[in-house]
Amino acid sequence: MGPFAWIAGHPFAYPLLEVLHIFGIAALVGNLLLFELRVWGVGAQLPLAPLAQLSLGVALAGFCLVAASGLLMFASQPTELIANYAFLVKMGLVAAAGTNAAMFHARGGVARLDRVARAQTALSLGLWIAVIIGGRWIAYL
Using alpha carbons, select from 37, 70, 69 the residue that is nearest to residue 55: 37
49-99, pLDDT tens digit by residue? 999 999 999 999 999 999 999 999 999 999 999 999 999 999 999 999 999
Q: Which of the four pLDDT bands, split at 50, 70 and 90, describes residue 1? A: low
* pLDDT score of 4: 87
Q: Which of the four pLDDT bands, split at 50, 70 and 90, describes residue 10? A: confident
* pLDDT score of 2: 74
Kindly list the domain boundaries of the chain, sorted by start residue: 5-140
* pLDDT score of 102: 97
If you average pLDDT over residues 27-46, what whole number do you get?
96
111-131, pLDDT tens digit by residue? 888 999 999 999 999 999 999
- At 116, phi and psi to the nearest 5? -65, -45
* pLDDT score of 112: 87
d(CA 86, CA 134): 5
Contact assessment for residue 135 and residue 94, using Cβ atoms and an 8 Å cutoff = no
Residue count of the chain: 141
* pLDDT score of 141: 85
